[in-house]
Amino acid sequence: MPDLEAARERLDRLWARGAAFLGCPYAIMGGAMSWVSEKTLVSAISNAGGFGVIACGAMSPAQLAEQIVGTQALTDRPFGVNLITMHPELNDLIRVTLEAGVGHIVLAGGVPPGPAVRAVKDGGAKLIAFSPALSLAKRLVRSGADAIVIEGSEAGGHIGPVSLTVLAQEILPHLKDVPVFVAGGLGRGEAILGYLEMGASGAQLGTRFAASEESIAHPKFKKFFVHANARDAMPSVELDPRLPVIPVRGLVNDGTRKFLEHQAETRDKLVAGAVTKEEAQLLVERFWAGALRRAVIEGDIETGSVMAGQSVGMVTSVQPVAEIIQELIGQAVGALAGR
């Protein structure tokens, strides 16, 4: 027992900076997943001692305000809001978030524009930004970011080209000014512990929470996660460089195969002169329109977009959020105690 107590204290010290920054007992952030990270899951993560984050996605300011109020009705603990920098109403979304008293805003999907950064800072909120490289991370900190998330290509959804293993080695030893949270492929506490010992202040997880009891995702969606292996979570394939495809990691299904067929058909139309390059690109980009909602909400796991990280192989059952968090902590503490 003394060894476990000492190990628990050691873990608390390792992520003390991240926990203090977030205002929660455990420096475990919930990844912002469109259609999944809404008031029910976000409040459950915060109530369990982690830090839930609402995924605004394509919500309107009114819809976001409703989600924030709904989350505040379910928890009195801190949570954040993730906003996409390309959203046409970004400024209004920031205003709504600040007016609701949310203390942390995550700006994702691109380099945060200067006016948005100033609005967040002037409003008194903490700004969290994503960075795929050390040079950008340093620039983001200089421009006002209060914390950085480095997300590896093992993550689900839209991904960059570099693994978390490499990003952590590149960034953690050299970025000390602000807390740095690691993300991508994390499914066990021992892995989180390893990154904390490298200098991370906390971790962000999405895939395991997507399959939790509190997640509003369709039962078929969660079952797909439970039965999937890491190798089933693959990035989308670009068939022709003339028609760029933003890589998105998800579980391979009929939709994945049909997307390849759609790209081939669209390329042939482009070559034949039946469509312009702009029209062809639009056809490719529109293929997945509504596909994530179909998968998450309607349970269409055959043709929908089942976004998942490679940690999906560690989802072996549908568990309550609090159980997942305590399991992660237990694994980290067990690893420390066993040394």
Report all structural domains of the chain as residue ranges with CATH numbers, in order of start: 2-217+316-337 (3.20.20.70), 229-307 (no CATH)
pLDDT tens over the chain, length 339 residues: 569 999 999 999 999 999 999 999 999 999 999 999 999 999 999 999 999 999 999 999 999 999 999 999 999 999 999 999 999 999 999 999 999 999 999 999 999 999 999 999 999 999 999 999 999 999 999 999 999 999 999 999 999 999 999 999 999 999 999 999 999 999 999 999 999 999 999 999 999 999 999 999 999 999 999 999 999 999 999 999 999 999 999 999 999 999 999 999 999 999 999 999 999 999 999 999 899 999 999 999 999 999 999 999 999 999 999 999 999 999 999 999 987
* Total Cβ atoms within 10 A of residue 222: 21
Closest CA to 85 of 45, 136, 120: 120
Ramachandran bin of 203, using left for φ above 0, alpha for ψ from -120 to 50, beta for the remaining angles: beta
The C-alpha atoms of residue 335 and residue 339 are separated, in whole angstroms, by: 7
Q: Retrieve residue 281's tokens.
A: 């690109």
For residue 112, give the DSSP letter.
P
The C-alpha atoms of residue 91 and residue 83 are separated, in whole angstroms, by: 10
Closest CA to 337 of 196, 195, 193, 200: 193
CA dihedral 18, 22, 23, 28 (to 10 degrees): -70
